[in-house]
Amino acid sequence: MREALLVLAAYLVGAVPCGLLVARLTGSGDLRTMGSGNIGATNVLRTVGKGAAALTLLGDLGKGALAVLLARWAGASDGLIAAAGVAAVAGHVFPVFLRFRGGKGVATSLGVMLAALPLVGVALLGIWLLVAWRWRYSSLAALVAAAAMPALTWLLDGRLALVGMSAVLVAAIFWRHMDNMKRLWQGTEGRIGQKVRTGSTGG
């Protein structure tokens, strides 16, 4: 029962729609009807602005980290910590508060990794920043960093439960980025900071 409650709490924390709340608090309207319609920081950056995007990013990172830290505070096993991390990302991707239509899970996954495995999290952040700086595609940076996650988890930690968690997170990120991958291939993906019209390209 305790384990189930921890996982449920992690899901509910992850389901808090930070981008949507930030956009509304700044008077910008419903983020789901703006830009790409995604509730993540990339769409907030394109449609609302840098300050709002930074708040969204911190919120999405924070809820992933909080889910893991709550599990650790409760003395959870590696398996339960992994389940809490996956649940937090599932909450972001399938939020009960938004009829299960959420974001792509990148920032929340990074928050999970920073709390569960700080060295891996910092390495992933470095990869994301390098790819984003070089090519200016948030989606490409997310995909490259995500692809490195299981190998880094294995090399820098090695616990099977956390390696399994990272594999699930990678699968979720790639699945949620299917459209982005098509646009990257076609050369139509929106770049970081590029303004987009409603329903246009981008994350």
Q: What is the pLDDT along the chain (203 residues), one digit of tens a residue?
A: 889 999 999 999 999 999 999 999 999 999 999 988 999 999 999 899 999 999 999 999 999 999 999 999 999 999 999 999 999 999 999 999 999 999 999 999 999 999 999 999 999 999 999 999 999 999 999 999 999 999 999 999 999 999 999 999 999 999 999 999 999 999 999 888 676 544 444 45
Alpha-carbon Rg for the chain, nearest whole angstrom, is 16
157 phi, psi to nearest 5 deg: -140, -60
Q: 197 Cβ partners below 8 Å, 6+ apart?
A: 35
pLDDT at position 196 is 56
Dihedral of the CA atoms 78, 148, 8, 65 (nearest 10)?
80
What one-character-per-residue DSSP string does the chain give?
A: -HHHHHHHHHHHHHT--HHHHHHHHTT---GGGSTT---SHHHHHHHT-HHHHHHHHHHHHHHHHHHHHHHHHTT--HHHHHHHHHHHHHHHHS-GGGTT-----HHHHHHHHHHH-HHHHHHHHHHHHHHHHHH--HHHHHHHHHHHHHHHHHHHT--HHHHHHHHHHHHHHHHHTHHHHHHHHHT-PPPTT----TT-S--
Residue 5, burial from CB neighbour count under 10 angstroms (0-12, 13-18, 19+): exposed
d(CA 27, CA 169): 33
Q: What angle do CA 39, 71, 7 make, to 5 degrees?
A: 60
- First and final C-alpha spacing in the chain: 37
**Tell me, what's the pLDDT at 200?**
43
